[in-house]
């Protein structure tokens, strides 16, 4: 009878014939073999196994002993308990590490009656090609994770917000205070005033700085995808969805900060879900019934008048009040022209570092020309204009003529106006009045809380209220 006939007519006989041969072959090619019974007691061990393990050359002295007494790190008992093999593993014994495989032994009824272990290699160099590939893959994975983590770290700090004008100094002061409080922040201001820069700076100065900073622009994502972007998608939630699922921005920002840019353009349906997340600190991915807890600090920003949107029914009032815990208004460039020279120097330096083109300086005539422009695009527009001037001009010094062909001509630009010099005391008083009013609003009128937010004592706050003629 040949093997084909044996397999067809008596498959059980083939298994019984093949099993001893297979075990014998494994014993021949392996460095050592050991077997245990259902109670993980040694019933057999060959001499080679004893030699590589450094055991006494007396197999009879080991029989009947529990495997862990002889080989402390053995997993043969686990194989007996689970009935599952461990095909490839590393086992430490003394100062040596061995490559081993472990198989369960079963009777004809499928009951586990023991286990057998084979020491495949005594020396690790046999697996060097495999280990090298494994190490390379591990390194690539570590590099990818590190690169991803770096991409989620803030690129800007407080020093990135350029300017020493009173308006700029007040913004920085409020931002530092916001970083300490770990509360929801609402950044208000025209487009291009640096809201995302300041959001990153607040995160970088906060206790969450080592955790992710995740930014999402509500105006740049289609309404149909916004929920998935925020809350994630469960595996196979809908046709075409990733079988492994996908984490949303809230999950990615866990422990850190989520920056919601242009939050005023968010659809009402998503606003309702966002409000629940802010209140409960939990999300429910699309297509899932499982609630996931998240710990996220929210910094929202908008260039639209949210109060007007609330009045028009385009923004939920309850979400507005939930976001407007600590609000900051970033001044437009036309209100901080005292920072114009510093902003130009910073932008030109960045252009030089990025492009490698020659460094450029600003002449007084160039600064005077730029100060007469109204800057509807604010600092973002200023950077764009400076880069155009660098590309068009070959001179090391940029003058008014270099900008005259880029910006609107004086006839269409904001008429030249004299700079009005405001007494410093008045500027400081106005800044203090604005800061105290914002703090009282954020604190719900509680003066002790407002004083704490401002970093002053309660007595000082009352004194300021009296000096500034604010209602106590």
Tokens 């291009």 correspond to 192
Give the pLDDT mean for 279-303. 89
Contact present, 212 and 253 (Cβ < 8 Å): yes
In terms of CATH, what superfamily is 31-127?
Answer: PAS domain (3.30.450.20)
Strands (E), 79-179: 86-93, 96-106, 112-121
Topology at the third CATH level for domain 424-467: Arc Repressor Mutant, subunit A (1.10.10)
Give residue 134's pLDDT band: very low, low, confident or very high (50, 70, 90). low
Contact present, 159 and 197 (Cβ < 8 Å): no
Higher pLDDT, 137 or 370: 370
pLDDT at site 60: 83
* Its pTM surpasses 0.85: no
Note the residue count of the chain.
Answer: 472
Q: What b/e string do you get for 274-300 counting C-beta neighbours within 10 Å, with b at 16 or more?
A: bbebbeeeebbbbebeeebebebbbbb
Angle among Cα 172, 177, 178 to the nearest 5 degrees reads 95
Number of C-beta neighbours around residue 403 at 10 A = 22
- The backbone region for 222, taken as left when phi is positive above 0, alpha when psi lies in -120 to 50, beta otherwise, is beta
Domains of the chain, residue spans: 31-127, 158-331, 335-404, 424-467
CATH number of 335-404: 1.10.8.60
The secondary structure of 196-219 as a DSSP string is HHHHHHHHHTSTTTTS-EEEEETT
For residue 125, pLDDT over 70 is answered with no
d(CA 419, CA 339): 13
Give the pLDDT mean for 245-269. 90
Tokens 């062909």 correspond to 405
C-alpha distances out from residue 321 to 188, 264, 289, Å: 14, 13, 29
Task: Confirm or reject CATH 3.40.50.300 for domain 158-331, answering yes or no.
Answer: yes
């Amino acid at each position: 009878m040949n093997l084909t006939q044996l397999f067809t007519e008596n498959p059980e006989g083939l298994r019984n014939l093949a099993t001893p041969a297979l075990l014998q072959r494994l014993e021949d090619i392996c460095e050592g073999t050991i077997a245990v019974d259902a109670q993980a007691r040694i019933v057999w061990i060959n001499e080679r196994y004893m030699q590589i393990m450094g055991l006494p050359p007396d197999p009879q002295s080991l029989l009947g002993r529990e495997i862990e007494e002889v080989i402390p790190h053995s997993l043969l008992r686990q194989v007996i308990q689970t009935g599952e093999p461990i095909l490839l593993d590393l086992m430490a014994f003394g100062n040596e590490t061995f490559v081993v495989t472990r198989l369960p032994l079963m009777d004809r009824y499928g009951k586990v009656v023991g286990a057998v272990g084979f020491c495949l290699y005594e020396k690790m160099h046999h697996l060097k090609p495999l280990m090298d590939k494994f190490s390379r893959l591990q390194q690539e994975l570590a590099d990818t994770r590190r690169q991803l983590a770096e991409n989620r770290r803030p690129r800007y700090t407080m020093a990135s917000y350029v300017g020493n004008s009173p308006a700029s100094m007040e913004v920085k002061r409020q931002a530092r205070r916001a970083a300490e409080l770990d509360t929801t922040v609402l950044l208000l201001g025209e487009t291009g005033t640096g809201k995302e820069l300041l959001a990153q700076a607040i995160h970088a100065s906060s206790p969450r700085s080592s955790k992710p900073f995740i930014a999402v622009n509500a105006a740049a994502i289609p309404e149909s995808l916004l929920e998935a972007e925020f809350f994630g998608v469960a595996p196979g939630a809908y046709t075409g969805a990733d079988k492994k699922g996908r984490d949303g921005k809230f999950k990615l920002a866990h422990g850190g900060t989520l920056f919601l840019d242009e939050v005023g353009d968010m659809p009402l349906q998503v606003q309702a879900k966002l409000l629940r997340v802010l209140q409960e600190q939990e999300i429910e991915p699309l297509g899932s019934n499982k609630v996931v807890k998240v710990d996220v600090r929210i910094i929202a920003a908008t260039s639209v008048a949210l109060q007007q949107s609330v009045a028009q029914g385009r923004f939920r009032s309850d979400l507005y009040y939930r976001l407007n815990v600590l609000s900051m208004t970033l001044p437009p460039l036309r209100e901080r022209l005292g920072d114009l020279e510093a902003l130009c120097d910073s932008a030109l330096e960045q252009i030089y570092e990025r492009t490698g083109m020659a460094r450029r300086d600003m002449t007084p005539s160039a600064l005077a020309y730029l100060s007469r422009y109204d800057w509807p695009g604010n600092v973002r527009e200023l950077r764009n204009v400076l880069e155009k001037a660098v590309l068009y001009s070959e001179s090391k010094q940029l003058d008014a003529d270099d900008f005259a062909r880029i910006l609107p001509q004086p006839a269409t630009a904001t008429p030249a106006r004299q700079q009005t010099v405001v007494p410093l005391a008045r500027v400081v008083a106005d800044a203090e009045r604005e800061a105290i009013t914002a703090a009282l609003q954020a604190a719900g009128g509680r003066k002790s809380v407002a004083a704490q937010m401002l970093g002053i004592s309660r007595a000082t706050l009352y004194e300021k209220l009296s000096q500034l003629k604010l209602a106590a």
